Structures are given as C-alpha cells and as structure tokens.
C-alpha cells in the first residue's frame, strides 16, 4: 500500500472519530473578562477553536432550547462573523457546541447552568431554557481571538458552574415623565439581557403622563397621555404594543413588571377622570417635575372600580407574576386614607392572581409574606416590611438610582440622592445594606432610571451604562466574589463591546477602558 493511500485512510479515520486536525492553542479561561463573575470557574489552559465547520447541536423536540440555540447562532454572527447551523440530534454529539437540558443539582435553579469547554466540544447544560440563555451570555463573553495572525476565534477551555444569588435582578425605566418608543424599550431589553438582568420594570403612569391603553377608561391615554415633562405630545402604548414588549422580553427571559403608581403620582389620571380626584384643587395637565401634590379619592367607590379595571386589564397583558402599585410620595393623602387604599388595592391585585410590589411606604399597610416592599429611601420602612414578612427588593437611591449624575459635570441627571460614580455604584453588599435585613429577606435588587431629565435613547444609555453592569454582578455573583479592583479591570475590556454596539455609555475615568 502506498504512503499516500495510507495517509488518506488515516485522515478519514480521524475525521470519522471526530478528532480535530487543529493543533491545540493555549488560552486561559480564568482571564476571560466575564461579567457577572461566575460562581465556580476552572481553567485548563487549552481552547476550542471556533470555525465555520463547527455546528450547534440540540436534542430533538424542545422549542425553548431551539430558540436559545438560534440566539447563540445570531450572536456568534454578530460577534465573529461566523455562521453556524443549528442541528437537532437524538443523542449527544462527539464534537461541536452542544446545548441541552438536564437535572444537574449543582446549577441550583432554572437560571443556573454548567459550561464545559474542551478542545473538540463545548457543552452547555441547564435545568431550563433560561439557564441555557444565561450561559450563552457567558459563552459569548469568553470568546477571544487566537492563532498566529489573530484571525481565529477561540473559546478558552475549562469548566464553569454558575447560578444567581438573587432571583430578581432588575432595571426600571420611567416612560411616564418622558415617553419612549417600543423600539427604544427593546434596545434596553437587549442590552440588559447581555448581563443576565431578568426583570424590566416599566413605570407606566405618573403626574405627567399615562402611557398604557386601558380600554375601559379610554381617556386615560387620549387625555392623560397627551403630554410629558417640558411639554410635547407625550404618547402611550396600545395593548398590542405592550404585549409585543412583553413577548420580546420573554424571548430573552426577562419578566416585564408594569407599574401603575397610586394613590399619588396620579395627576394624569384625575385630569382624564375628575371623579377620581382626591385633591380639592382642580387638576390640570402637568409638565413640571414636582412630586407629592396629587391623590386619588381613597374613600370613593368609583376609585376602586377604576383600580379593579386597570389591574384586571394589566394582569391580562402581563405574563409575569408581579404587578407594581407604586405607593410612593403620596404626601397629600392622609395616613389613614393611604393605608386604607393600599389594603384594598392589595386585595384587588391578589384577586387578579398577581403579587403586589410597592415602594417602601407600603410597609405601613397590612403587608405580609405575599407582598414585596421595594426599598428606595427609608431603612425603617424596609425593616418594617421585613418584620411583617414581606420580601424586600433593594433599590437604594444612593447606590442604584441611574438618574443620579456621575459627577458635578454630568450633562443630564439629578443629584438629590448624591453623585454616583462607578465605585459608589458598585461597592456595596445587599445583605449588609440595612441592619437586620439579610439574604432570607431579600428578593433581589433593581436599578431605577427616572426620566425627568432623560429625553432620548442616548440619554437612557448614558445614565444606565456602565452602572447597570455593576448592579448585574451584585445581583448575580456571590458576595465573596465582588471585588472593585477585579471588576473595573474586567469592565474595561467591555468598552470595545459597548462601542461596537454603539452604546452611548459613560466613559468613567475610574475605569481603564480598552476600546480596540
């Protein structure tokens, strides 16, 4: 037998066995700039070489896994230019990228995942499709260029076991003070999903505008939605548009939490329907930024018909378990009337099979283990809510309020809670924030962006990024892994990612950004 024939047979056998002809290329998974930092990571010094010959494999018959695999393929095209096919198989492949479900207890919950990267195979497994989706974000972040001419994409080899510390890791977007389009909201969803954020809280109503169609009370939008801070035409989402936002978020495993703020912050509603007004003064459309001057008529039955109708329609539009009733800054509502209103509204939320969330003032009502108190201002309110059994959602204004300026030169934003640079934003621990409130009381954290000064998508991005990225790590990673020096070095490498995505992010001088 000739040498050429023997060589051909050997090559064919190697291909049949799935053995790569590529020489292993060293790479260090421990040096990947992963945010949030994983729970466990072990590097073994080699790599998987990503080429157009690779494939993404999934088991047959699971639509959720297929959607995640397709999202991975799309991200790989965007990131590397490499187009991989998604192939359904009836057994585990010997090589390629393999996504599948299992019942691995080490990944803890539905968002946890296991990522095993070898020279011939990348295996991503989870207990549910959302865990696979979280793992895909890590996989994309781990990509590095390699080879002699830096023309090859590598995935450093090793093992990652990862799962979130808190179930709720959210961002709030105020679309009431200034209105933002469906496309703007979808852009926010896409960027937040990259960092394992799993909740988008939409502040849909306030004194300056009502932004969601309620068919049983149509003037809420035709009248109440007609303006915004500073004037302008305002706007609102039709129910079909809102359902589109919910669907889009759900495909990225983000839960939309709608907020209907009451009994205060209701000027737009009582202008539309004066019979709801609990203030003795006639309400007019409002385009300023003061708070605390409006209230619903908390002792009139028409108010609770209104509340029931609004919550009924919102509950039907919302797939997630939560409905936010606001409850903050009701300064002209008498204390007894306020408690009476929250207690009745709580029962209406429950009747429509949702869990009530409210700002920390609601702790003065009859909250219990079925409710969630969102801390923003007063420690004693959060403690009171926890004492009554409610879960606490942490949004400390001095740490997480994205509408605060970074420093005195920031061209938009407010400063009433202080200036929040990156170190101030990152250097805190949820379980040590309020004495007596530890992890058993904490549902998670959320980063609110109020929009009194925010008028465009660029404004949203500038105040949100990179601070939301740090909050995402605080919500996901173990407290023992949170380290400012490590974080700012890893974040620096995300400068190019944000630049490539054309994100108008704040280039803090505290971060040694890498843009090339």
Element (H, E) at 170: strand 168-174
* CA 361 to each of CA 39, 168, 342: distance values in angstroms, whole numbers, following the listed order: 35, 20, 10
Judge whether 326 and 342 are in contact, CB under 8 Å: no
* Cα gap 71→252, rounded to integer Å: 9
**Unique residue bearing structure tokens 């959210």:** 170
Is 52 a catalytic site residue? no
Judge whether 33 and 490 are in contact, CB under 8 Å: yes
Q: Which two tokens stand for residue 476?
A: 């996901």
* Cα gap 438→386, rounded to integer Å: 10
* Cα gap 362→384, rounded to integer Å: 10
* Cα gap 302→334, rounded to integer Å: 19
Ramachandran area for residue 292 (φ above 0: left; ψ -120 to 50: alpha; else beta): left
Return the SS3 of 168. Answer: strand
Q: Which two tokens stand for residue 3?
A: 């040498």
* Cα gap 224→40, rounded to integer Å: 50
Set 329, 334, 421, 435: catalytic member: 329
* Cα gap 443→438, rounded to integer Å: 10
* pLDDT computed for residue 222 by the predictor: 98
* Cα gap 159→117, rounded to integer Å: 6
* Cα gap 94→215, rounded to integer Å: 55
* Cα gap 221→209, rounded to integer Å: 8
* pLDDT computed for residue 148 by the predictor: 59
Report CA dihedral (129, 130, 134, 136) to the nearest 10 degrees: 30
* pLDDT computed for residue 404 by the predictor: 98
* Cα gap 184→33, rounded to integer Å: 28
**Unique residue bearing structure tokens 């095993």:** 116
Return the SS3 of 214. Answer: coil
pLDDT tens track, the chain, 516 positions: 455 544 444 444 444 444 445 688 999 999 999 999 999 999 999 999 999 999 999 999 889 999 999 999 999 999 999 999 999 999 999 999 999 999 878 888 999 999 999 999 999 999 999 999 999 999 999 999 876 555 689 999 999 999 999 999 999 999 999 999 999 999 999 999 999 999 999 999 999 999 999 999 999 999 999 999 999 999 999 999 999 999 999 999 999 999 999 999 999 999 999 999 999 899 999 999 999 999 999 999 999 999 999 999 999 999 999 999 999 999 999 999 999 999 999 999 999 999 999 999 999 999 999 999 999 999 999 999 999 999 999 999 999 999 999 999 999 999 999 999 999 999 999 999 999 999 999 999 999 999 999 999 999 999 999 999 999 999 999 999 999 999 999 999 999 999 999 999 999 999 999 998
CA angle 488, 154, 165 (to 5 degrees): 45
Nearest to 201 by CA among 232, 176, 223, 164: 176
| Whether pTM exceeds 0.85 | yes
* pLDDT computed for residue 145 by the predictor: 84
* Cα gap 317→193, rounded to integer Å: 21
């Amino acid at each position: 037998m000739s040498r050429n024939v023997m060589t051909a047979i050997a090559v064919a056998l190697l291909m049949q066995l799935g053995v790569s002809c590529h020489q292993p290329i060293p790479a260090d998974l421990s040096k990947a700039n992963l945010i949030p930092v994983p729970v466990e990571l072990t590097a073994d010094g080699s790599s998987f070489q990503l080429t157009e010959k690779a494939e993404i494999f999934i088991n047959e018959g699971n639509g959720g896994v297929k959607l995640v695999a397709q999202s991975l393929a799309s991200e790989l095209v965007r990131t590397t230019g490499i187009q991989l096919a998604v192939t359904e198989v009836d057994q585990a492949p010997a090589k390629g990228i393999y996504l599948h479900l299992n019942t691995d207890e080490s990944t803890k919950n539905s968002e946890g995942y296991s990522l095993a990267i070898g020279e011939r195979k990348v295996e991503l497994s989870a207990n549910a499709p959302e865990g696979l989706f979280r793992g895909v974000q890590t996989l994309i972040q781990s990509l590095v260029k390699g080879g002699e001419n830096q023309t090859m994409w590598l995935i450093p080899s090793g093992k990652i076991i990862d799962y979130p510390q808190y179930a709720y890791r959210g961002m709030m977007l105020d679309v009431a003070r200034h209105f933002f389009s469906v496309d703007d909201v979808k852009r926010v969803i896409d960027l937040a999903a990259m960092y394992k954020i799993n909740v988008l809280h939409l502040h849909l109503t306030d004194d300056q505008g009502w932004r969601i169609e309620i068919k049983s009370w149509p003037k809420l939008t035709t009248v109440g939605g007609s303006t915004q801070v500073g004037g302008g035409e305002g706007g609102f989402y039709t129910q079909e548009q809102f359902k589109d936002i919910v669907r889009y978020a759900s495909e990225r495993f983000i839960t939309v939490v709608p907020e209907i703020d009451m009994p205060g912050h209701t000027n737009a509603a009582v202008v539309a329907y004066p019979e709801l007004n609990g203030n003795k003064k006639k309400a007019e459309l409002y385009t300023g930024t003061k708070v605390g001057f409006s209230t619903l008529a908390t002792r009139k039955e028409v108010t609770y018909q209104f509340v029931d109708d609004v919550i009924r329609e919102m509950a039907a539009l919302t797939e997630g378990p939560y409905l936010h009733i606001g409850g903050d800054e009701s300064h002209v509502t008498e204390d007894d009337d306020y408690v009476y209103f929250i207690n009745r509204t709580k029962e209406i939320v429950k009747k429509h099979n949702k869990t009530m969330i409210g700002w920390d003032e609601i702790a003065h009502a009859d909250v219990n283990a079925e409710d969630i108190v969102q801390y923003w201002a007063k420690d004693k309110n959060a403690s009171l809510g926890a004492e009554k059994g409610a879960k606490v959602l942490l949004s400390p204004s001095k740490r997480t309020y994205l509408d605060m300026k970074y420093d005195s030169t920031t061209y938009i934003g407010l400063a009433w809670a202080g200036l929040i640079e990156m170190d101030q934003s990152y250097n805190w621990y949820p379980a040590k924030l309020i004495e007596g409130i530890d992890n058993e009381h904490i549902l998670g954290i959320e980063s609110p962006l109020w929009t009194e000064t925010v008028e465009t998508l660029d404004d949203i991005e500038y105040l949100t990024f990179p601070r939301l990225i740090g909050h995402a790590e605080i919500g996901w990673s173990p407290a023992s892994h949170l380290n400012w020096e490590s974080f700012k070095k890893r974040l620096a490498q995300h400068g190019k990612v944000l630049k490539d995505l054309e994100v108008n992010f704040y280039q803090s001088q505290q971060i040694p950004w890498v843009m090339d």
